[in-house]
Amino acid sequence: DPKIIQKPKYLVAVTGSEKILICEQYLGHNAMYWYRQSAKKPLEFMFSYSYQKLMDNQTASSRFQPQSSKKNHLDLQITALKPDDSATYFCASSQQGGQETLYFGSGTRLTVL
Amino acid sequence: QQKVQQSPESLIVPEGGMASLNCTSSDRNVDYFWWYRQHSGKSPKMLMSIFSNGEKEEGRFTVHLNKASLHTSLHIRDSQPSDSALYLCAASMTGNTRKLIFGLGTTLQVQP
């Protein structure tokens, strides 16, 4: 029974379009994150939220916008999609946002054509 | 240069053998290390963490940390085919505990 739900599991988009990746966690955690995993690259930190506030933004491009409508939700809106955005996007959460274990969702695999 | 370097890139060990994986940070601001395991097509799951110099053992898994050299290692004894996976080392830096920096990983294959 997954505690961090990511939707959709697979997503195919055309260059220039916009997509929203959904993440909900049912672990009762207060901190949520987005990471990206591309071929030949390390798992890369993108954003961190704590109590629905943006704490860290490591993404240079404003095309990536996290959205937190509820404490246990952190969606990721990506605009003007490029083929380089193709990757698996993992949502994660932790208890408070400190030196704690990260729990990852199952990921959304995005392919941009 | 990657802030977290892992070696070897890939490793094959026989079932029942010992697997040894290494991880070093080039950034002296590293505070803590974690090891995550990612089976093919799955999400990473935390395996072990180590924050202090020395050794920590949990079942078949042992981690070592040398903070002076910013080097950690993971040892898996009595390796099983189910241990075949990508092993990711991650570090957090002083002043920002929320962000983990991952290495490229070591792909371990345990041959029956």
CB atoms within 10 A of CB A59: 17
Torsion, Cα B63 B75 B36 B25, to 10 degrees, reads: 60
Among B34, B43, B51, B88, which would you mutate to test the A interface (most chain A Cβ atoms within 10 Å of its Cβ)?
B43
Widest pairwise Cα distance in chain A: 38
- Which residues 47-86 on chain A approach chain B with CB closer than 8 angstroms? 48, 50, 55-56, 58
- pLDDT at position A32 is 95
Give the model confidence (pLDDT) of A1-36 as tens digits: 679 999 999 999 999 999 999 999 999 999 999 999
Are B104 and A41 within 8 A, CB to CB?
Answer: yes
Tokens 């590293």 belong to: B30
Among A9, A58, A95, CA closest to B102: A58
Residues of B in contact with A44 (CB under 8 A): 102
β-partners of residue A32 are A49, A93
pLDDT tens for A45-73 read 999 998 999 988 888 799 999 999 998 99
A80: how many CB neighbours lie within 10 A of its CB?
12
The pLDDT value recorded for residue B1 is 67
Residue B25: HSE in the Cβ half-sphere, 13 Å Cα cutoff: 22
B5: left (phi over 0), alpha (psi -120 to 50) or beta: beta
pLDDT per residue, tens digit, chain B (112 aa), is 678 999 999 999 999 999 999 999 988 888 899 999 999 999 999 999 998 899 999 999 999 999 999 999 999 999 999 999 999 999 988 777 778 999 999 999 999 9
Q: Are residues B88 and A43, on separate chains, in Cβ contact within 8 Å?
A: yes
Long-range contacts of A37-43 (CB under 8 A, 24+ apart): A37/A87, A37/A88, A37/A89, A37/A90, A37/A107, A38/A86, A38/A87, A38/A88, A40/B104, A41/B104, A42/B2, A42/B4, A42/B88, A42/B101, A42/B102, A42/B103, A42/B104, A42/B105, A43/A90, A43/B44, A43/B88, A43/B90, A43/B102
Q: What is the pLDDT of residue B30?
A: 86
Q: How far, in Å, CA of A5 to CA of A64, rounded?
A: 20
B→A contacts (Cβ < 8 Å), by residue, are: 2, 4, 31-32, 34, 36, 42-46, 49, 51, 88, 90, 92, 96-105
* Amino acid B7: pLDDT: 97
**Structure confidence at residue A110 (pLDDT):** 98
Nearest Cβ partner for B43 among A42, A55, A107: A107
Q: Band the pLDDT of A40: cuts 50, 70, 90.
A: confident
